[in-house]
Structure 1
Amino acid sequence: MATEEGSGENTDIFAARPWVKSYPAGVPKNVDDDAIPTLADLIRDIFERHAGKPAMESFGVRMTYRDVARTADAVSGWLLQQGVGKGDRVALMMPNVMAYVPTLFGTLLAGAVAVGVNPLYTARELVHVLRDSGATVLFVLENFGATVEAALADIESSGGTKPKVVVVSAGDLLGLKGRLIDFVARHVKKIVPASSLPGAIRFAAVLAEGAGAPGARPEIAPSDMAFLQYTGGTTGVAKGAMLTHRNVAANILQSEIWLKTSLQDKPNPVTVSALPLYHIFALLASALVMSRFGACQILIANPRDIKGLVKTLKKRRFNVILVINTLARALLNNPDFRRLDFSGLRLSVAGGMAVQSRVADEWKAATGRPLIEGYGLSETSPVVCLNRADIADFTGAIGYPLPSTEISIRDEAGNVVRAGQKGELCVRGPQVMAGYWRRPDETAKVMTHDGFFRTGDVATMDAHGLVTLVDRLKDMILVSGFNVYPNEVEDVIAAHPAVAEVAVVGRRDEKSGEAVVAYVVSKPDTEVDEAALREHCRKSLTAYKVPREVHFIEAIPKSNVGKILRKDLRLLADGG
């Protein structure tokens, strides 16, 4: 990565933590390290403080926090009966159905380690996570039973140990309405493929067997592992980030004190949980931070069904919504979304990927509220930086480091750069992972000698501590020695009125080393060609940043969370 002159000078800017002066009133520069609880203690506190409040809503059916506590205790009791306890891994392969949060909380209360699994994984991908994590129990939505069947056959054929399977349905915990939902899913819509899982147990049986189970709960320490959070795999094979109770609890407290003034007059805010809870962003923000506020989560099992999502939002005035750029754009493309009642909206928090300025402008125009962009990773539990909740407009930056968080921005030689210069964003704080599961070599690669985690992201920080993300270091394109950041090119192309979506990658090139390639999805009933888009880019980009090629495709490949899979596009660009 190219750096600018003088990068080794003025290295005390980050040590001085200038961002603290920009904190909202009442936000301390540090969280009390001695007051960081275990997640088990934190969950119990949530149950006690908000017992009678609605905690979750799915298909119009609600559960109170008292209901969630009772269900979580049954899951915890059943796990302990099975001999699953402290340190054992429990995999959760479900979308946002009612059973997810109680199962998650029950796993943590039993002292076990929660392993979130993308339910859209192929059998091969599932085998990797199950083998790598050594999960002893797998909770899976019945819709994905066929994938589990194939994965377990692979594990068995290679002499591996299969986890015990618990089969969950979308209608579990929804009473009589749940039975109707399951009947329609199985026999009308036929979205539950046949599968054979000998020895599997239904979720209802788990609750019946675990209810009132005797036995002492394990003693849990803050240093014990709580989550094995697999990286998204957008740039390679997924690795398991070991997140301790202290890591995640610290990040909950950091986020809570940052956002509390925005929700202090809402004793039971309503939050839209459309992003999947197995993903670290929604896991932390929806399932944990919002629960601290006594929020009722509107669970969306299929966020790709935008029409269905908007129909659900029509029925409930909501106060908080979490989005990533692709979800925000999809919502804005739906005319009914723009007609929703946004009078109760307090927070629109964006993360997971860079937000395009055009999307942010349209969001503010439609909802009356700015997108509050933050930044984090699986390895940082996840939140590192967040914009102030009281901003009037989208900033284009990822915000300020949260309390107790230190950052430094360094060049490729490890030297700290000046304020305003580009470099790799490095993080140190209580939310930084304990390391990669069973991969000390990979852990060593991402940790500096002085204990900072190397994020692999390129960023800048101004003199006031405001951090702006430039791009992924691995996604950076090197054209004849010049750095090209895909986010910048994508932002320009996305501003063209005929463009619905865009992704930019680099491909190998004999003359320039790499060439910029853009993949574009056009808006319906519009006309634009490669020459027009290249000319559009020339108005805002220097010559070497203008895409050498523009390809029009029907859909941009994305992960289930909605992140663009640039590795797939790079293979396509290179003819793979």
Structure 2
Amino acid sequence: MPQPWIQHYPENTSSDIDITSIKSLLQMFHESVNQYGDKVAYYNYGASLSFNELDRLSADFAAYLQHETGLKKGQRVALMCPNTLSFVVAMWGIIRAGGAQVNVNPLYSPHELQHQLVDADVETIVIFAASTPTLAQIIDKTAIKNVIVIQLDDLINKNLPATEVDTGIGSFILFKDALERGKKHSLEEPELCRDDLLYLQYTGGTTGLSKGAMLSHGNLIANIKQYEELAKNDINYGNDIILTAIPMYHIFALSMNTLAYFSFGASNVLVTNPRDMKSFVETWSHYDITMFTGVNTLFNGLLHTPGFAEIDFSTLKMTIGGGAPVQSAVSDKWKEVTGKALMEGYGLSETSPVLTLNLNYVEPSISGIGIPVPSTEISLRDDEGKEVAPGDAGELCAKGPQVMAGYWNNDEATKDAMTTDGFFKTGDIAVLDEQGHFHIVDR
């Protein structure tokens, strides 16, 4: 398929990325810690964690997982938690212990939680206290042996109220106690490579049971570098402040906010409850935010919250919308209030997630979902799997280093999701305009 979008790449941008020098996210983690040290990596409820503090705490948790739960390389650990400092410490701890993280929505029903835990054969779960009643209903139907409970005040130390833990989950350990016990052990970081499993990202539950997309270290490294190559002129390494309100258990925030901007040395302001718009606006006003990611409902909610329009947006360089199309009325209002265009990204859990991105200087109404990120092939196919004629609509199919290895324990679904020549079928119908921009016309 012709690639007219290449003309829109900034002058110093390559159409391909090379990740051969990066073995795993573990390597990326240590490089960031060594480079940014005492700089703040994450903020939450006014508390902060530096890169060095995160290094120490995640090592303690990784050591706990290895020595007291017996976690071995590749074993799955579920993380069921909203955006908190504990989430990122647990996540990096799981990675450093060699585990594969199963991302779970804290608001899942017992049925949804049971399916994920059983399907992924999870023995250890790190869970927010408020979600323990859900786990209590189904824990006997799972292989769970180790329950580690996070309280909101963990690592924040502001005397935030603790949530009662449902006794139906049986024996458990508090996250803060696991950290203390981990200090007594030495961490033995495993050898990891790009092909090793990093995340199981469950998706597609609308058409039956959700499937676990197997995302490797290489998938996420690739997507970080693809975004970086396209956006590097707007990245201020070591100085950006990104605001993270979309949940980190979703791949969009996990890849873009939690991993990519960590590797860029940014400070990440975590919003635990974005539905509390008043507090959300107050949080934004306390920091010189340079980058914000969100979804349509979030943008719209902020625009209608008193005080938002009075924020000083002079430091804001980029806003990226994902998850679902951003309505043009919302996008237009966002630019009117903040003075900055709202860019859109497109992708799926199976693609780590970014496939295409609007560049900062192109109006979203003109450019649709934008152009493919480097090292990404897009092909529009008809029902027979053949490429459509230029200008015609077809199913958007993608190939690149960010595309998953397949679905966990589901060869049939993996086969159905791929074309015979190795493209992932997104299920979305798109057109390519003459300028090289893709537009979704049906889902």
Bigger Rg, structure 1 or 2: 1
- 2:347 counterpart residue number: 376
- 2:66 counterpart residue number: 80
- 2:38 counterpart residue number: 52
- Does the alignment pair 1:416 with 2:402? no
Provide the identity percentage.
39
- Does the alignment pair 1:360 with 2:360? no
Which letter maps to 1:64?
S
Aligned-pair CA distance for 1:71: 1.0
> 1:219/1:321 Cα in 2 relative to 1: closer, same or farther (>3 Å)?
same
**Contact 2:367-2:437 at 8 Å conserved across structures:** no
Aligned length: 442
For residue 107 of structure 2, give the secondary structure of its aligned residue in structure 1.
Answer: coil
> 1:52/1:395 Cα in 2 relative to 1: closer, same or farther (>3 Å)?
farther
Which letter maps to 1:256?
E
More displaced, 118-127 or 208-217? 208-217
- 2:243 counterpart residue number: 272
- 1:448 counterpart residue number: 419
- 2:195 counterpart residue number: 223
**Contact 1:372-1:394 at 8 Å conserved across structures:** no
- Partners of 1:212 and 1:181 lie apart in 2 by 28
249, 255, 261: which one aligns with 2:227? 255
Aligned-pair CA distance for 1:201: 0.7
Aligned-pair CA distance for 1:392: 5.7
- Does the alignment pair 1:322 with 2:293? yes
> 1:193/1:471 Cα in 2 relative to 1: closer, same or farther (>3 Å)?
farther
Aligned pairs (5 A) from 1:141-540: 141-153=128-140, 155=141, 160-175=142-157, 177=158, 180-182=159-161, 185-186=162-163, 192=164, 194-211=166-183, 213-214=185-186, 216-231=188-203, 233-264=205-236, 267-391=238-362, 394-395=365-366, 397-472=368-443
Aligned-pair CA distance for 1:194: 4.3
**Contact 1:425-1:456 at 8 Å conserved across structures:** yes
Q: Give TM-score scaled by structure 2 length.
A: 0.96
Which letter maps to 2:346?
Y
- Partners of 1:312 and 1:66 lie apart in 2 by 24
- Partners of 1:134 and 1:174 lie apart in 2 by 32
For residue 256 of structure 1, give the secondary structure of its aligned residue in structure 2.
Answer: helix
**Contact 2:358-2:364 at 8 Å conserved across structures:** no
CA offset digits 1:19-72 (Å, max 9, x no partner):
222211211110114234311111111111111111111111111111111111
- Partners of 1:213 and 1:252 lie apart in 2 by 32
Which letter maps to 1:413?
E
Q: Give TM-score scaled by structure 1 length.
A: 0.74
Aligned-pair CA distance for 1:231: 0.8
Which letter maps to 1:201?
I
Aligned-pair CA distance for 1:212: 5.5
- Partners of 1:172 and 1:215 lie apart in 2 by 22
2, 7, 17: which one aligns with 2:3? 17
Q: Tell me how large the CA RMSD over aligned residues is.
A: 1.6
For residue 220 of structure 1, give the secondary structure of its aligned residue in structure 2.
Answer: coil
**Contact 2:122-2:143 at 8 Å conserved across structures:** no
Show structure 1 runs of 5+ residues with no match: 1-13, 187-191, 473-576
Aligned-pair CA distance for 1:413: 1.2
**Contact 1:409-1:417 at 8 Å conserved across structures:** yes
**Contact 1:270-1:296 at 8 Å conserved across structures:** yes
Which letter maps to 1:40?
L
Which letter maps to 2:211?
K
- Partners of 1:74 and 1:339 lie apart in 2 by 42
Aligned-pair CA distance for 1:394: 5.0
Aligned-pair CA distance for 1:76: 1.1
More displaced, 112-121 or 415-424? 415-424
**Contact 1:281-1:382 at 8 Å conserved across structures:** yes
**Contact 1:398-1:468 at 8 Å conserved across structures:** yes
**Contact 1:54-1:62 at 8 Å conserved across structures:** yes
For residue 335 of structure 1, give the secondary structure of its aligned residue in structure 2.
Answer: coil
**Contact 2:43-2:269 at 8 Å conserved across structures:** yes
- 1:571 counterpart residue number: none
- 1:135 counterpart residue number: 122
> 1:420/1:59 Cα in 2 relative to 1: closer, same or farther (>3 Å)?
same
- Partners of 2:59 and 2:22 lie apart in 1 by 23
CA offset digits 1:88-119 (Å, max 9, x no partner):
00000000011001111111111110111000
Aligned-pair CA distance for 1:267: 2.9
- 1:70 counterpart residue number: 56
More displaced, 192-201 or 135-144? 192-201
- Partners of 1:414 and 1:263 lie apart in 2 by 39
**Contact 2:198-2:215 at 8 Å conserved across structures:** yes
